[in-house]
Amino acid sequence: MIDEKINIKKPETQFGNADAANHVTGRSIYVDDIPAIEGMLYLRIFDSPIAHGKIKKIDYAEAEQTEGVVKIFSYKDIPGENQIGGIFPDEPLLADEEVHFCGQPVLIIAAENDDAAEEALHKIKIEIDPLPVITDPRIAFAQNKLLSPSRKFKIGDTTTAFAQCKYIFEGRTETNGQEHLYLETQGAYAYPTEHDSVKIFSSTQGPTQVQRTAARVLGVGMNKVEVDVSRLGGGFGGKEDQASAWATMAALVAYLLKRPAKCILHRMEDMRMTGKRNPYSSDYKIGLDDNYNILAYEATFYQNGGAAADLSPAILERTLFHCTNSYFVPNVTATAHSCKTNLPPNTAFRGFGGPQGMFVIEAAIDHAAKNLGVDASVIQRKNMMDDGNEMPYGQIIKNAEAKDCWDQVTVKCDIEAIKKDINDFNSQNDLIKKGVALMPVCFGISFTNTMMNHARALVHVYSDGSVGVSTGAVEMGQGVNSKMIQVAAKTLGISTDRIKLESTNTTRVANTSPSAASSTADLNGKALLHACNQVNERLYSFVKTEIAGDTECIVEIKDEQVYINGEATVHHWKSIVQQVFTKRINLSAKGHYATPVIHFDKSIEKGHPFAYHVYGTAIIRATVDCLRGTYEIDAVHAVHDAGTSINHLVDLGQCEGGIVQGIGWMTMEEVVYNEEGRLLSNALSTYKIPDIYSVPKELTVDFLNTDKNNLAIQKSKAVGEPPLMYGIGAFFAIRNAVIAFNPKSTIKYNAPITPEKVLMGLYSSNE
């Protein structure tokens, strides 16, 4: 029995979060807390009031006369290129002749104070000849409006496979966008420095992206732009690419006027001007044999990209990589189109297209299950991937934990008892119904763009034994700083108290990839490991020659004490460092890491793009009030593959937060644009995110205790994004409760499953 095999990891007391104390005492510094230098200008952005059109006339002469206003900038004032596109050069910093979305920046107002800037904003007059507005990706596709070439992943042959299927089901799904709603809105602060340079403090996940973009717009070398990031009040993908515009605006004003400048978006501006998770409209066709083996799967994804490519082409790719989730399907054809619409450019959001892909196959399986009269979990478990399976993109699965996670959580929670309880409850209650769903997750770890999987770290051991660590990792609340301190402390054999983690700065660590793709701790941690090992080598070699007098002996520093051949000595970290320093030995090191093994050939859409995969399964239960259409998520229990977690609390926090954020996306967060492309859900009064009351009453995450070799940092697997996708189970749990009330319901696979949709679904019928 599996019972005996339960090897769920118990939490240990250990190093927690390096930032927690400063956060709760208000000492942590965010961009808007940086003490302003005298003469700082406040920036406000005039953005397009309509979603598509030709600018006929724009008049800001009067606005510029407003008392306190220093200057208003248009695209004509840009010394370099008016271009901020990351993957493709298709996005101006400031609109020139046309506007392509409502909220597109047109002018920058620089003023002595925010009130003056705000006053000027209202005096600007713009005339735009409207052009047709497209908000629907399928309409954009029909008109051949694409942001990037379409992609197709293929394994086996679906055409012949469907001919052998006993059961075939086809349908359509919709997943909506998601507003990042980081607590700290987008913003940056910049000031001019010597030699025609600028220094930017930015709330960005991608300091190098900000540096590159600002340099391009200013028309200077990247060496003239220094970007510094202490931490973000949340990113969630929204600041992977989209922090660059505001940082570049602040840099532009600082560079041209030679004065400090700050550009911080107000909440409603942030919601209006920035892109969100890409909504998708998708078609599926699933084929099964007699025994419920999935033989064939076809999917077509229409991604709503918005008005510019931004990261959408990469997100599209990750959708294809995750289109079969945790299942092995021998015949797959998946096609994806990145469609150009007149919405703000949609962008990275935790999961990066993966969740959108997974939702579709989960819907297809649910569709099949409902028609075949079996529980979806039967089909899910039956088709779960295993070692040796080939993914549609060519990677052969190794160290699969999919079945193990599933089996452990279903045994631990006794899924059969849960199902029976729910059936009993539902047969005894007419107006309240319960539902349960299982949600497995398999998420690939690495940037899908192989070239981005590298990082560097810089370690300085000071002559007093204290240590300064710089990496390319950006702390955005995910706890990466804590992990970096742990990696350095463990590798050097010293206390975490000795280590200071420096801000992320482009002059100390250059050419970084953004903190994204769940890969930040892995990539930067490994680079840091490498740097620390170089320092160790020098210290150890000093001990061998100068103290032990034996170059063959084994030296180790543990808990700050020096050991020779396993024996404790009177020497310790601090004394050795001081001696090494007097011998003029280098106490600094730079580490570099590039993920080995990975590769991908886009011309054939095959390769081995991921360092490894993260697995898990969650059981989600919901209760629906069938009079009102309201619901509650009763419980989420997950068994999650964390490898050998180096920080249980940080990883648990990521899991809990990710699950709740995923539930939000699936159930209540509804991004609404009207037909004119204007955002209606433009404030916290009209956009509902999960609050403490929407957190499931029971929420447990157990870590699967695995100790297999992988490419994770100290075997501690990436945890940032995968847990979000457990939230997809909430959709199906609620939907199952609706079906329990009304088996003829026509409720669609259309997320989010808001109370309105639930209410309509409860009383809908196809008869």
Active-site residue numbers?
721
Residue 642 beta carbon to ligand MOS: minimum distance, rounded to whole angstroms: 18
User: What is the pattern of x (binds ligand LUZ, CB under 6 A) and - over residues 342-381?
Assistant: ------x---x-----------------------------
Per partner kind, with CB cut-offs from 5 to 8 A, the member of ligand MOS, ligand LUZ, none near residue 448 is ligand LUZ
For ligand MOS, the closer of residues 437 and 718 by Cβ is 718
Residue 193 beta carbon to ligand MOS: minimum distance, rounded to whole angstroms: 29
Q: Hey, CA dihedral for 680, 686, 692, 693, is it positive or negative?
A: negative
609: which 2 tokens? 């793009």
- Kindly indicate which of the ranges 402-410, 444-452, 466-474, 596-604 contains the residues binding ligand LUZ, using the contact rule CB under 6 A: 444-452
Helices (H), 17-125: 20-24, 61-64, 114-121
The answer to whether 240 contacts ligand MOS (rule: CB under 6 A) is: yes
Residue 312 beta carbon to ligand MOS: minimum distance, rounded to whole angstroms: 12
Residue 534 beta carbon to ligand LUZ: minimum distance, rounded to whole angstroms: 29
For ligand MOS, the closer of residues 106 and 484 by Cβ is 484
Is the previous residue joined to 752 through a cis bond, with omega within 30 degrees of 0?
yes
Per partner kind, with CB cut-offs from 5 to 8 A, the member of ligand LUZ, ligand MOS, none near residue 349 is ligand MOS
User: What is the pattern of x (binds ligand MOS, CB under 6 A) and - over residues 192-231?
Assistant: -------------x--------------------------
For ligand MOS, the closer of residues 206 and 260 by Cβ is 206
Residues 6+ apart with CB under 8 A from 13: none
657: which 2 tokens? 């937060």
The answer to whether 314 contacts ligand LUZ (rule: CB under 6 A) is: yes
The answer to whether 448 contacts ligand LUZ (rule: CB under 6 A) is: yes
The answer to whether 348 contacts ligand MOS (rule: CB under 6 A) is: yes
165: left (phi over 0), alpha (psi -120 to 50) or beta: beta
100: which 2 tokens? 């392509």
Per partner kind, with CB cut-offs from 5 to 8 A, the member of ligand LUZ, ligand MOS, none near residue 205 is ligand MOS
Residue 442 beta carbon to ligand MOS: minimum distance, rounded to whole angstroms: 17
> What is the distance between the alpha carbons of residues 108 and 248, in angstroms, rounded to a whole number?
11
Size of interface with ligand LUZ, in residues (CB under 6 A): 12
Q: Residue 272's closest CA among 201, 325, 323, 343? A: 343
- Kindly indicate which of the ranges 1-9, 182-190, 342-350, 628-636 contains the residues binding ligand MOS, using the contact rule CB under 6 A: 342-350
Per partner kind, with CB cut-offs from 5 to 8 A, the member of ligand MOS, ligand LUZ, none near residue 449 is ligand LUZ
Q: Hey, CA dihedral for 722, 723, 727, 729, is it positive or negative?
A: positive
For ligand MOS, the closer of residues 248 and 356 by Cβ is 356
For ligand MOS, the closer of residues 613 and 678 by Cβ is 613
- Kindly indicate which of the ranges 127-135, 310-318, 406-414, 547-555 contains the residues binding ligand LUZ, using the contact rule CB under 6 A: 310-318
752: which 2 tokens? 């989010």
* Residue 260 · residue 336 · CB < 8 Å: no
Q: Residue 633's closest CA among 697, 552, 548? A: 697
The answer to whether 237 contacts ligand MOS (rule: CB under 6 A) is: yes
Q: Residue 564's closest CA among 578, 581, 583, 550? A: 550
422: which 2 tokens? 């729910």
Site for ligand LUZ in 318-347 (CB under 6 A): 318
Site for ligand MOS in 35-74 (CB under 6 A): none
Per partner kind, with CB cut-offs from 5 to 8 A, the member of ligand LUZ, ligand MOS, none near residue 563 is none
Per partner kind, with CB cut-offs from 5 to 8 A, the member of ligand LUZ, ligand MOS, none near residue 489 is none
* Residue 703 · residue 642 · CB < 8 Å: yes
- Kindly indicate which of the ranges 44-52, 323-331, 348-356, 408-416 contains the residues binding ligand MOS, using the contact rule CB under 6 A: 348-356
68: left (phi over 0), alpha (psi -120 to 50) or beta: left
Residue owning tokens 């029909």: 142
Determine the number of helices (DSSP H) and then strands (DSSP E) in the chain: 19, 31
Helices (H), 57-129: 61-64, 114-121
Candidates 415, 517, 636, 655: give the one binding ligand MOS (CB under 6 A): 517
User: What is the pattern of x (binds ligand MOS, CB under 6 A) and - over residues 688-727?
Assistant: ---------------------------------x------
Residue 352 beta carbon to ligand MOS: minimum distance, rounded to whole angstroms: 4
CB atoms within 10 A of CB 653: 18
Element (DSSP H or E) covering residue 613: strand 612-625
Candidates 63, 517, 660, 663: give the one binding ligand LUZ (CB under 6 A): 517
Residue 89 beta carbon to ligand LUZ: minimum distance, rounded to whole angstroms: 17
Q: Residue 267: helix, strand or coil by DSSP? A: helix
Candidates 271, 516, 539, 728: give the one binding ligand MOS (CB under 6 A): 516
608: left (phi over 0), alpha (psi -120 to 50) or beta: beta
Residue 511 beta carbon to ligand LUZ: minimum distance, rounded to whole angstroms: 15
For ligand MOS, the closer of residues 526 and 530 by Cβ is 526
The answer to whether 516 contacts ligand LUZ (rule: CB under 6 A) is: yes
For ligand MOS, the closer of residues 352 and 703 by Cβ is 352
For ligand MOS, the closer of residues 47 and 522 by Cβ is 522
Residue 126 beta carbon to ligand MOS: minimum distance, rounded to whole angstroms: 33
> What's at 320, amino acid-wise?
L
First to last CA, the chain: 46
Burial class (CB in 10 A: 0-12, 13-18, 19+), 584: exposed
Site for ligand MOS in 408-447 (CB under 6 A): none
Q: Residue 407's closest CA among 452, 377, 374? A: 377
Q: Residue 533: helix, strand or coil by DSSP? A: helix
201: which 2 tokens? 């403090």
517: which 2 tokens? 């793709």
For ligand MOS, the closer of residues 410 and 504 by Cβ is 504
Helices (H), 207-311: 207-218, 244-257, 267-273
Residue owning tokens 């297209």: 353
The answer to whether 458 contacts ligand LUZ (rule: CB under 6 A) is: no
The answer to whether 447 contacts ligand LUZ (rule: CB under 6 A) is: yes
Question: What are the residues facing 638 on neighbouring strands?
Answer: 618, 701
User: What is the pattern of x (binds ligand MOS, CB under 6 A) and - over residues 349-388?
Assistant: xx-x------------------------------------
Q: Please give the residue whose beta carbon sits closest to ligand MOS in the complex.
A: 237
- Kindly indicate which of the ranges 47-55, 343-351, 356-364, 389-397 contains the residues binding ligand MOS, using the contact rule CB under 6 A: 343-351
Per partner kind, with CB cut-offs from 5 to 8 A, the member of ligand LUZ, ligand MOS, none near residue 447 is ligand LUZ
> What is the distance between the alpha carbons of residues 294 and 631, in angstroms, rounded to a whole number?
32
The CA distances from residue 85 to 224, 344, 500, 766, in Å, are 20, 13, 35, 47
Q: Residue 156's closest CA among 147, 165, 148? A: 165
Residues 6+ apart with CB under 8 A from 35: none
* Interacting residues with ligand MOS (CB under 6 A): 205, 237, 240, 348-350, 352, 516-517, 721
* Interacting residues with ligand LUZ (CB under 6 A): 240, 311, 314, 318, 348, 352, 447-449, 452, 516-517
